[in-house]
Amino acid sequence: MRRLLAAALLLLLSHAAQAGRPLQSEDAGVLERGRCELETAFARLDPRRGEPRQDAGYAQIACGAGGQTQLALAPGFERGDGRANTLTATGKTALRPLTDHQAGVLLAYSLIGSQPRHQGLRLAGSAARLVVTMPRGPWLLHANVGVLHNHDSGRDSTLWALAAERTALGGLDLLAEVFGNDRERAPWLNAGVRWRPTDEGLSLDASYGVQTNGARARLATVGLKLLF
């Protein structure tokens, strides 16, 4: 179970304060200085291998810090055959700002703390990734490559992701991606939807993914974001 937790839920938590939801892929957008967003999300992993179902969730606040940098903090939880509280600190720094006509490049980074029941908070993982987003009319194309260090096992995982977003569909965005890491040989296929019911900066999202191996593990997420 811990191997799956490191490969899936730890990966999810490494994205907690980064604006790619409901994708696992990151995008190259950064909040402007003084702008903030409140986000909450819940994920359920079904290993389909006779192992217990695993859940994770978080609520996070992210703000633009200036210097093309966005920082965030996200308390949360993970639950499988046990339960632990989590605390994730993440950030993004643009190396080349994303515009409607220019590809964006940034560095995204995360520190993931875990506090198992009756224990103290400890560093469970850290991650860094290079992100490229290319605008193509109503489409956004994303490519990620990076590394996740699992401090419990002492192992590094190479992360990668490719994604596409179709925006400007009357407040609805459709998203699809393929992502994976070198610890789990079979990649994941994921599809998502993002809906903005009003013009007040509120969005709702959901995703559903399947791992492309015989076990057919499933990962489902739902989330909410408010920009202010």
The residue among 170 and 153 whose pLDDT is bigger is: 170
pLDDT of residue 3: 43
Q: Say whether 5 sits in a helix, a strand or coil.
A: helix
pLDDT value, residue 82: 77
Phi, then psi, of 200 in degrees rounded to 5 = -95, 15
Lowest mean pLDDT among 11-20, 113-122, 125-134, 161-170: 11-20
Q: What b-and-e string marks burial along 93-131, b requiring 16 or more CB atoms within 10 Å of the CB?
A: ebeeebeeeebbebbbbbbbbbbeeeeeeeebbbbebeb
Are 139 and 133 in contact by the 8 Å Cβ rule? The answer is no
- Specify the range with the lowest mean pLDDT, choosing from 45-54, 75-84, 120-129: 45-54
Q: Rounded to whole angstroms, how far apart are CA atoms 165 and 179? A: 15
Q: Taking 60 as the threshold, does the pLDDT of residue 16 lie above it?
A: no
Residue 32: pLDDT over 90: yes
* Rounded mean pLDDT, 58-76: 94
Higher confidence at residue 82 or residue 42? 42
Nearest CA-CA partner of 77 in 13, 14, 20: 13
With vertex at residue 184, the alpha carbon angle to CA 182 and CA 190, rounded to the nearest 5 degrees, is 105
Other Cβ atoms less than 10 A from the Cβ of 172: the count is 13
- When mean pLDDT is compared over 3-7, 14-18, 160-164, 210-214, the highest value belongs to 160-164
Backbone angles phi, psi at 8, to 5 degrees: -115, -60
What would the mean pLDDT of 153-179 be, rounded to a whole number?
92
Q: Is the pLDDT of residue 99 over 90?
A: yes
pTM surpassing 0.85?
yes
Token representation of residue 183? 């610890």
Question: Which pLDDT score, from 0 to 100, does residue 200 have?
Answer: 81
Q: What is the pLDDT of residues 181-191, one digit of tens each?
A: 887 778 999 99
DSSP 3-state percent helix, strand, coil across the chain (nearest 5):
5, 60, 35
Residue 45 has pLDDT above 50, yes or no: yes
Read off the pLDDT of each residue in 86-97 and give the average, rounded to a whole number: 94
Contact between 97 and 133 under an 8 Å Cβ cutoff? The reply is no
With bands split at pLDDT 50, 70 and 90, how would you rate the model's confidence at 10?
low
* Cα–Cα dist 18/25, whole Å: 9
pLDDT of the residue at 11:
56
Q: Is the pLDDT of residue 51 over 70?
A: yes
Query: pLDDT > 90: what percent of the chain?
Result: 60
Mean pLDDT of 65-85: 90
